[in-house]
Amino acid sequence: MRAFFTALKIAALALVFGCQVASAAWYTARGSAPIIDGNVAQARREAIDDALRNAALQAGADVSIEQVLENGTLLNERMQVRARSPIRTMRVIEEQESGKAVTVLVKALIDDAAAKHDCYAGNIKKTVLPFLFRYEDPDASLTAAGMDDFDNYLSSLIYGGISQSPALTILPTDRSRLLISRSASGPNYSLQRTLDSISRRTQAQFIIVGSINSLAKSEVGENAFTKMIYNPTRTIRFNIKVFDVYSGEMILSKDYAGDAEWTLDSPFVIRSDRFATSDYGQRVQQLAKYAIADIVSTLRCQMPYARVVQVTDTAIRINLGSNDNITTGMQFKLLHRSDYRDRHAMTYYQHSDTSSVYKVVDVSPNASTLIPASVGNQLMNVMLDDLVMLKP
């Protein structure tokens, strides 16, 4: 009898373990950290932390910045992966030390079930169009002297990072210049029309616009002797804005700033280990990670909208499909679009809520077919360019 109960316990434990494993998946990611004051062990720990953060980002975890305090003193800022996507186990499968930095490749078993269900819209992919980082003004461009290609470097660093999130589909970077006033207040109807045009051309729901404000270099001291002893410092300041193109609303605007000792003599290549492992390069990468975390956290749980692209006597079709994780049975709420002109012949539009609900009955990779969820929700008032919003 004792043997029977022992076997029963083992079977139960095996079942529980099997269920846990079924809700987890393996993720592989790289991480790096600079070697400071010759402390290789500390750099290795920080590189592993960075790799685990990247792995959790792939799993769909929300990421936040936590200020670590000890005795009331700010020691550092680090990325904290929230417990909703716990890392069950991990192992380092590759490690490199360059003398200035440690780089690791880790494989982690992550419980991604919680990450995918912590918000209803978290598992629906959002299509994002990023715009190439631009210098804010001619003065900002002058501060980048000797740092050719930095705008492309920062763009690829941040947009490559957010592309790891399974909740986002990142379109190729748009290299055109989108003019947005930093000091504008109130409705910007010109921007609204521009965003509407972008949504039609690319099918994106969100856009990201980045601007570089300063890369200024400052000498330490004013006399030649001081300059011989101390290295100059260099600033990095940039801004990121995220817009919902359907509503025309700016849902994120944040500035990032830092500085570090500048030890690089010209000429040098931005996309090189020499730059990446320098104090300044490490500071840029740190700020980029903060920006990545903010963008993913902002977009991940945004309710997805879709455009009505076809109306028939019995159904409507929208521009979201299985590639966006849309499935049959999901329900969407209709929003009517109204276009109007003012006395100066300027065209505007707005979307208004309705009580009409439609459910998905057929899904293809890039589109879905919806029918009224009840007899009270008719199709006679649905028009092309109306929007539907996922119903919680």
Residue 143 · residue 216 · CB < 8 Å: yes
DSSP state of 325: T
Between 72-76, 109-113, 214-218, the lowest mean confidence (pLDDT) is in 72-76
CATH topology assigned to domain 305-390 = Thrombin, subunit H (2.40.10)
Token pair of 20 as six digits: 């846990």
> What's the pLDDT at 376?
72
Q: For residue 167, what are the CA distances in angstroms to 65, 87, 204, 276?
A: 20, 19, 14, 28
Report whether pLDDT(240) > 90: yes
* Superfamily (CATH H level) for 20-118: FlgT, N-terminal domain (3.30.1660.40)
CA distance 111 to 81: 12
Q: Which residue has the tokens 């920080």?
A: 46
> What's the pLDDT at 76?
53
CATH number for region 119-302: 3.40.50.10610
> What's the pLDDT at 72?
40
Q: Where are the domains of the chain?
A: 20-118, 119-302, 305-390
Smallest CA-to-CA distance from 47 within 103, 121, 109 is with 103
Residue 109 · residue 25 · CB < 8 Å: yes
- Residue count (the chain): 392
Q: How confident is the prediction for the chain on average, in pLDDT?
A: 80
> What's the pLDDT at 67?
45
Q: Which tops the pLDDT comparison, 78 or 148?
A: 148
Residue 282 · residue 105 · CB < 8 Å: no
